Chain A
Amino acid sequence: MSENYQSFEYDVLVIGAGGAGLRSAIEASAAGCKTALVCKSLLGKAHTVMAEGGIAASLATVDSRDSWQQHFSDTLIGGNFGNHWKMAELHAKQAPERVRELEKWGAVFDRTTDGKGNINVRHFGGHTYKRLAHVGDRTGLELIRTLQDKGVHSGIDVHMECTIYALLKDGDRIAGAYGYFRETGRPVLFKAKSIIVSTGGIGKLFSVNSNSWECTGDGFALAYLAGAELADMEYVQFHPTGMVWPHSVRGLLITEGVRGEGGVLKNNKGERFMFNYIPPKYQGKYAETEEEANAWFQKVVVEGQKEEGVKERKPPELMSRDVVARALWNEIKAGRGSEHGGVYLDIASRRSAEDIKKKLPSMYHQFKQLADVDITKVPMEVGPTCHYMMGGVKVNPETQESTVRGLFAAGECSAGMHGSNRLGGNSLSDLVVFGKLAGENAAAYAKLTSMPKIDDSVLAGLNKEMNQPFENKGEVSYAILADLQTAMEKGAGMYREESLLDGCLKDLEALKERLKKVAAEGNRLFNPGWHVALDLRNMLIVGEALARAAKERKESRGGHTRTDYTTYSKDFAKKRIVVRKKGEAMEIVQEDLPQVPAELEAELIKGGFLKAEILKQLRGEAPAH
């Protein structure tokens, strides 16, 4: 097996070509750095391409009341104040500019219908006003294509279908990355002064998920192994509306846009159950009766009236995802679920067939083609699906640098921005806002440093590790993957409990042992069985970090729900759980989570963007659940 690796040298190396990776590479390259982008798939296929609903930014093109303060407050409330406030602030302030910049780079967003020719925005859960710039239901595609086209003309070197297996260090600082080309299996070394990880999420750890195969949590594991700290790993978002049938597409996402366009959730008795699940933090903001919700729907969605003049409040189906997902779960658990174990999402009885086809074309096709279901005639069956990782590499909010010098993180694999629960649309804007910052700062750092040195002996060790599956005789990787997904789903899924988490950790230990003996057939040429075997190392690390962090946080908050600690707790409200490597072991520590400065908080409360009582509830200082 050839160990003669290919070798490259760059100022800035970006791992991951989703929205975050592309945006940071563009920035680094614009700053004059020799920049490379590596990704596991072909360029333009990263998971970002699947994003549907839109990109959140307070452009205020439709509702003039919108402002960065409101976006900031919505993000904090959505995240149950588990957010790093500084990131949320930067995000809310910079998102509009980043969106307009995309337009300058060629993105063609849907336009407003008022004749003024602005970028149109739509409703999404947890956002006070219409705020999501979008392109039909394929916003992610637009984002990635725009950045891709900008990127390929900015002189960035792209190495496609290349998996990074390890980050290398020179003393305390980052020095490079080692991996292999998927096609040939040939090893490759990238020497770099700074590295940005933007490797996306972890969806593939769970059996029911909405993510692409790439979402194996590589960036988390790579950074962790290189000594960087991870934070908020217990916060996993389960999206309420995934497909539940046919089995082979279980988990596939149904965009929140369906509810935005008027879709309602019903149990098998035909009841709109969401009215029973309005948590205190949203009380007063959502309709409390069907009549009110219907009136709002009629005026705002059907007639397109300006919400500013509508006195009714929006339907509770539009609350944030953690709330809706829990409601669904409860209904299903209580035996009020649908035929295949979901609940019903009904748009057929709400909008005309033409409207549905026009507003939600890809949903219509998805159901027609994959489930033989015509959503203009019958309701969809939906259930929760693992969707997004709020936690990730702990970064400095202003520079995106991790706790390792020269190592930066952006996008879904960085932590802090979304707190315990992400609002829809806030991810795409996160990618471009923090992608830019990461690129900027990685470039600035690269300019100040010299090319680091790499110790060849480390590479030999890595080669041995990567080749091990070909030496082993035993089971192939797929069964281990399936068992890992089941273990995570069972032990660390939507509802968690001390004993389940312990069970999960035990399962993970057993899987680690099996992984040591995993075998790969054939050779290194484009060999998926081998690829999965190597990815599994990362998945097991991430799974463990997740379960340990979840065990540590003894309260329920957003994407972290414990059946043994069901409320917000004062003890944890201002803490974040940090995971780091200590020797060979995983260390869990509680750190103080920086809090919104008192002055700013007062200002927001005064301006009516935030309510003091809600803050109290979220901080566990007043009863909430």
Chain B
Amino acid sequence: MSKIHMRVYRGNSEGGQLKDYDVEVAEGMVVLDAIHNLQATQASDLACRWNCKAGKCGSCSAEVNGKPRLMCMTRLNEFAEGETITVTPMKTFPIMKDLATDVSWNYEVNKRIPPFTPREGADWHWQQKDADRAQEFRKCIECFLCQDTCHVLREHDKKTSFAGPRFFARIASLEMHPIDGLDRTELLKDQHGIGLCNITRCCTEVCPESIRITDNAIIPLKERVVDKYYDPLRMLWSAVTGK
């Protein structure tokens, strides 16, 4: 057992402050353990979300020393001896209390994405290579860390016109599904604002599931939007051949 120094954000929608704590820790602990320790010994009403403590549910998202992280997958021995560990709630979303933020906006966006719609008469026999792309995106645990870090949401607060990386990955999983028959390109361009993404890749860097959001979802989707809306030759071709 040893002690570490932590600063944890305490507050609610009216505002808040970093509070200092000294916490007992043992070998192998993660940040979430330290928070739980705090709850059990010093601050029983400290709000934070968690479920699995194994990086599988995406509940315990927060910012550790300014970086969006899963608290349950951030080991304390990552930090230097004597380093203060600062834990704050995700900045992009309105705060509820302490480390819990109101992420309901994400669920609203999801509702606006037309669901999986199989093609008429589709053949349900398909190969692993057709499944691979969709499966990568379906690894998403909805931790919303990518949404938190994306500057379009974090700095420019475009929540009304931009779906965010999590939902580009979701749309990609549908658009690249071999059986799905819908075309969501227009929605992508207009309602979900894919043009606002300037592919600066913070989402990819932060994703705990290592989904290559920018390279494998956003850019290919941008190219599909180009096919339909920005490529003069292709548009001409489509107009002539109807394809």
Contact = CB atoms under 8 A, between A and B. Distances in A.
Interface residues of A, number: 67
A558 to B, nearest CB: 26
A212 B50 CA distance: 8
Given A45-B51, A152-B110, A521-B44, A50 B59 contact: no
A598 to B, nearest CB: 40
A301 interface: no
Contacts of A247: 26-28
A58 interface: no
B53 interface: yes
Contact of B39 (A45, A109, A478): A478
Contacts of B116: 105-106, 149
B68 interface: no
B220 to A, nearest CB: 17
Interface stretch (B130-138, B184-192, B235-243): B130-138
Interface in A386-401: none
Interface string B92-135: 00001110101110010011000110100000111110110011
Interface string A96-112: 00000001111011110
Nearest to B107: A43
Nearest to B118: A104
B45 A528 contact: yes
Interface in B11-41: 12, 26-30, 33, 39-40
Q: How large is the interface on B (under 10, 10 to 19, 20 to 34, 35 or more residues)?
A: 35 or more
A511 interface: no
Contacts of B196: none
B47 A527 contact: yes
A624 interface: no
Interface string A36-57: 0000011111110110000000
Contacts of B118: 104
B138 A45 contact: no
Contact of A117 (B28, B110, B127): B127
Interface string A232-256: 0000000000000111110011000
B138 A50 contact: no
B73 A369 contact: yes
Contacts of A521: 43-45
Contacts of B73: 369-370
Interface stretch (A137-145, A259-267, A421-429, A576-584): A137-145
A117 B125 contact: yes
B182 to A, nearest CB: 12
Point out which of B44, B98, B100, B110 has the most chain A C-beta atoms below 10 A from its C-beta: B44
A527 B50 contact: no
A213 interface: yes
B154 interface: no
Contact of A141 (B46, B56, B111, B124): B56
A47 B47 contact: no
Contact of A246 (B29, B43, B103): B29
Given A42-B49, A152-B110, A245 B28 contact: yes
A237 B188 CA distance: 47
Given A110-B128, A249-B53, A477-B44, A45 B100 contact: no
Nearest to B29: A248
B51 A213 contact: yes
B131 A145 contact: no
Contacts of B30: 248, 370
Given A50-B52, A138-B56, A152 B131 contact: no
Interface in A501-527: 520-523, 525-527
A615 B115 CA distance: 48
B55 A369 contact: yes
Given A111-B128, A113-B128, A247-B26, A527 B57 contact: no
Contact of B75 (A43, A44, A108, A369): A369
A115 B126 CA distance: 8
Nearest to B30: A248
A478 B103 CA distance: 27
B44 A476 contact: yes
A108 B131 contact: yes
Contact of B115 (A50, A106, A245, A522): A106
Contacts of A365: 55
Contact of A42 (B44, B56, B103): B103
B97 A252 contact: no
A406 B9 CA distance: 45
B40 A183 contact: no
Contact of B28 (A138, A142, A246): A246
Given A111-B127, A248-B26, A528-B39, 15 more contacts: A43-B107, A117-B125, A120-B128, A136-B135, A141-B138, A141-B139, A152-B107, A152-B111, A249-B54, A369-B55, A525-B47, A527-B45, A528-B46, A528-B47, A530-B45
28 contacts: A41-B51, A42-B59, A42-B142, A45-B58, A47-B52, A50-B54, A104-B118, A106-B177, A108-B134, A116-B125, A120-B128, A138-B139, A141-B141, A149-B115, A149-B116, A153-B111, A213-B51, A245-B28, A248-B33, A249-B28, A249-B53, A252-B54, A525-B12, A526-B47, A526-B96, A526-B98, A528-B45, A528-B48
* Smallest CB-CB A-B distances: 5 pairs: A246-B28, A529-B44, A106-B116, A117-B125, A522-B45
Interface of A: 41-47, 49-50, 103-106, 108-111, 113, 115-118, 120, 135-136, 138, 141-142, 145, 149-150, 152-153, 158, 160, 183, 212-214, 245-249, 252-253, 362, 365-366, 369-371, 476-479, 482, 520-523, 525-530
